[in-house]
Protein backbone atom coordinates (compact mmCIF):
# COMPACT_ATOMS: atom_id res chain seq x y z
CA UNK A 1 0.00 0.00 0.00
CA UNK A 2 1.10 3.54 -0.67
CA UNK A 3 0.65 6.67 1.36
CA UNK A 4 -0.90 9.46 -0.68
CA UNK A 5 1.70 12.19 -0.53
CA UNK A 6 -0.34 15.09 -1.84
CA UNK A 7 -3.22 17.02 -0.35
CA UNK A 8 -4.49 17.97 -3.77
CA UNK A 9 -6.96 15.72 -5.59
CA UNK A 10 -6.98 16.33 -9.33
CA UNK A 11 -8.20 14.42 -12.32
CA UNK A 12 -5.63 13.50 -14.97
CA UNK A 13 -7.34 11.52 -17.70
CA UNK A 14 -7.83 7.94 -16.51
CA UNK A 15 -6.07 8.59 -13.18
CA UNK A 16 -7.62 10.28 -10.23
CA UNK A 17 -4.26 11.37 -8.88
CA UNK A 18 -0.62 11.48 -9.92
CA UNK A 19 2.08 11.36 -7.27
CA UNK A 20 5.78 11.98 -7.91
CA UNK A 21 8.28 10.27 -5.60
CA UNK A 22 12.09 10.33 -5.65
CA UNK A 23 14.34 7.65 -4.20
CA UNK A 24 17.48 9.38 -2.89
CA UNK A 25 20.59 8.66 -0.82
CA UNK A 26 24.25 7.83 -1.17
CA UNK A 27 25.52 5.39 -3.76
CA UNK A 28 25.33 1.68 -2.83
CA UNK A 29 22.59 2.10 -0.24
CA UNK A 30 20.11 -0.19 -2.01
CA UNK A 31 17.96 2.37 -3.83
CA UNK A 32 17.96 0.55 -7.17
CA UNK A 33 17.39 -2.85 -5.52
CA UNK A 34 14.31 -1.42 -3.83
CA UNK A 35 13.17 0.27 -7.07
CA UNK A 36 13.45 -3.03 -9.00
CA UNK A 37 11.68 -5.01 -6.29
CA UNK A 38 8.89 -2.46 -5.96
CA UNK A 39 8.20 -2.16 -9.68
CA UNK A 40 9.18 -5.49 -11.17
CA UNK A 41 9.32 -7.84 -8.15
CA UNK A 42 12.89 -8.52 -9.20
CA UNK A 43 16.10 -8.79 -7.19
CA UNK A 44 19.66 -8.91 -8.50
CA UNK A 45 22.62 -9.05 -6.15
CA UNK A 46 24.96 -7.29 -8.59
CA UNK A 47 23.59 -4.01 -9.93
CA UNK A 48 25.47 -1.30 -11.81
CA UNK A 49 25.33 2.18 -10.30
CA UNK A 50 22.54 4.43 -11.56
CA UNK A 51 23.80 7.12 -13.92
CA UNK A 52 21.73 10.25 -13.42
CA UNK A 53 18.29 8.76 -12.78
CA UNK A 54 15.98 5.96 -13.78
CA UNK A 55 12.23 6.38 -14.07
CA UNK A 56 9.14 4.19 -13.97
CA UNK A 57 5.50 4.52 -13.08
CA UNK A 58 3.12 2.25 -11.24
CA UNK A 59 -0.67 2.20 -11.01
CA UNK A 60 -2.25 1.56 -7.63
CA UNK A 61 -5.67 1.95 -6.06
CA UNK A 62 -5.92 4.02 -2.91
CA UNK A 63 -9.27 4.56 -1.18
CA UNK A 64 -11.12 3.47 -4.36
CA UNK A 65 -9.21 5.96 -6.52
CA UNK A 66 -6.79 5.15 -9.33
CA UNK A 67 -3.38 6.58 -8.51
CA UNK A 68 -0.44 6.77 -10.88
CA UNK A 69 2.89 6.96 -9.06
CA UNK A 70 5.91 8.36 -10.88
CA UNK A 71 9.07 7.04 -9.25
CA UNK A 72 12.55 8.48 -9.85
CA UNK A 73 15.49 6.28 -8.81
CA UNK A 74 18.29 8.84 -8.53
CA UNK A 75 22.04 8.37 -8.56
CA UNK A 76 23.79 8.66 -5.23
CA UNK A 77 27.12 9.52 -6.84
CA UNK A 78 28.49 12.95 -5.91
CA UNK A 79 29.20 13.62 -9.62
CA UNK A 80 25.45 13.73 -10.34
CA UNK A 81 24.35 15.52 -7.17
CA UNK A 82 23.57 18.86 -8.83
CA UNK A 83 21.86 17.23 -11.80
CA UNK A 84 19.51 15.04 -9.79
CA UNK A 85 18.08 18.01 -7.91
CA UNK A 86 16.03 18.68 -11.04
CA UNK A 87 14.12 15.45 -10.35
CA UNK A 88 13.09 16.78 -6.93
CA UNK A 89 10.83 19.39 -8.51
CA UNK A 90 7.19 18.80 -7.61
CA UNK A 91 7.93 15.56 -5.80
CA UNK A 92 5.42 15.00 -3.06
CA UNK A 93 7.61 12.48 -1.31
CA UNK A 94 11.14 11.21 -0.91
CA UNK A 95 12.43 7.80 0.10
CA UNK A 96 15.78 8.66 1.70
CA UNK A 97 18.00 5.57 1.85
CA UNK A 98 21.06 4.88 3.97
CA UNK A 99 23.05 1.69 4.43
CA UNK A 100 22.86 0.24 7.95
CA UNK A 101 26.38 -1.14 7.48
CA UNK A 102 27.92 2.19 6.40
CA UNK A 103 28.16 5.03 8.96
CA UNK A 104 29.12 7.52 6.25
CA UNK A 105 25.86 6.97 4.33
CA UNK A 106 23.97 7.60 7.56
CA UNK A 107 25.98 10.75 8.30
CA UNK A 108 25.10 12.04 4.82
CA UNK A 109 21.35 11.79 5.50
CA UNK A 110 21.43 15.40 6.76
CA UNK A 111 23.06 16.56 3.49
CA UNK A 112 20.31 14.89 1.48
CA UNK A 113 17.66 16.55 3.64
CA UNK A 114 19.36 19.92 3.07
CA UNK A 115 19.34 19.30 -0.71
CA UNK A 116 15.66 18.39 -0.68
CA UNK A 117 14.68 21.41 1.40
CA UNK A 118 16.88 23.73 -0.72
CA UNK A 119 15.22 22.57 -3.93
CA UNK A 120 11.72 22.69 -2.53
CA UNK A 121 12.26 26.24 -1.26
CA UNK A 122 14.22 27.76 -4.14
CA UNK A 123 13.71 25.94 -7.43
CA UNK A 124 11.74 28.06 -9.93
CA UNK A 125 8.33 26.61 -10.75
CA UNK A 126 8.45 24.16 -7.86
CA UNK A 127 5.02 23.80 -6.26
CA UNK A 128 5.40 25.23 -2.73
CA UNK A 129 1.94 23.94 -1.74
CA UNK A 130 2.95 20.29 -1.88
CA UNK A 131 3.36 18.82 1.55
CA UNK A 132 6.95 17.59 1.86
CA UNK A 133 7.26 14.01 3.07
CA UNK A 134 10.52 12.18 3.66
CA UNK A 135 10.64 8.53 4.69
CA UNK A 136 14.02 7.53 6.11
CA UNK A 137 14.91 3.96 5.08
CA UNK A 138 17.75 1.97 6.63
CA UNK A 139 18.65 -0.75 4.17
CA UNK A 140 20.58 -4.05 4.39
CA UNK A 141 19.13 -5.17 7.71
CA UNK A 142 19.86 -8.77 6.69
CA UNK A 143 23.60 -8.16 7.28
CA UNK A 144 23.21 -8.38 11.07
CA UNK A 145 26.92 -8.91 11.82
CA UNK A 146 27.91 -5.82 9.81
CA UNK A 147 25.29 -3.32 11.08
CA UNK A 148 26.87 -0.14 12.42
CA UNK A 149 23.76 2.04 12.87
CA UNK A 150 21.55 1.37 15.89
CA UNK A 151 17.91 2.27 16.38
CA UNK A 152 19.12 4.78 18.98
CA UNK A 153 21.35 6.44 16.33
CA UNK A 154 18.38 6.72 13.98
CA UNK A 155 16.13 8.22 16.66
CA UNK A 156 18.81 10.77 17.70
CA UNK A 157 19.40 11.81 14.10
CA UNK A 158 15.70 12.28 13.42
CA UNK A 159 15.47 14.61 16.42
CA UNK A 160 18.62 16.59 15.54
CA UNK A 161 17.54 17.14 11.91
CA UNK A 162 13.93 17.79 12.94
CA UNK A 163 12.98 15.03 10.51
CA UNK A 164 9.37 14.41 11.42
CA UNK A 165 8.76 11.35 9.31
CA UNK A 166 8.48 7.64 9.46
CA UNK A 167 11.48 5.38 9.16
CA UNK A 168 11.86 1.78 8.12
CA UNK A 169 14.60 -0.77 8.43
CA UNK A 170 14.47 -3.13 5.45
CA UNK A 171 16.38 -5.63 3.36
CA UNK A 172 15.84 -6.48 -0.32
pLDDT tens sequence across 118-162: 777 776 665 655 567 888 888 888 888 988 988 888 877 766 655
The 17-25 sheet, strands edge to edge: 53-62, 65-74, 17-25, 93-99, 133-139, 167-170
Q: Identify the burial level of 9 via C-beta atoms within 10 angstroms of its C-beta, where 0-12 means exposed, 13-18 middle and 19 or more buried.
A: exposed
Residue 80 burial (CB count, 10 A): 17
- 104 pLDDT band, cuts 50/70/90, is very high
Report percent pLDDT > 90 for the chain.
11
Three-state secondary structure call for residue 142 = coil
Q: How far apart are CA 128 and CA 133, in angstroms?
A: 13
Strand 53-62, strand 65-74: pairing: antiparallel
Least Cα distance to 76 among 43, 33, 140 occurs for 33
**Percentage helix, strand, coil, to 5, in the chain?**
30, 30, 40
Q: Provide the pLDDT for residue 130.
A: 57
32 vs 132, higher pLDDT: 32
Residue 168 burial (CB count, 10 A): 12
Q: For the chain, count helices (H), then strands (E).
A: 5, 6
4 vs 101, higher pLDDT: 101
Mean pLDDT of 40-69: 79
* pTM of the complete model: 0.76
Amino acid sequence: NYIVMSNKFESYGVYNLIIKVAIVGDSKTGKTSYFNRLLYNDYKSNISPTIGADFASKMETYEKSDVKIYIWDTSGMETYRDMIRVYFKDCAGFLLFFDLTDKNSFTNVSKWIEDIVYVKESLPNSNPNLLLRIALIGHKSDKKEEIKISQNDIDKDRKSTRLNSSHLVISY
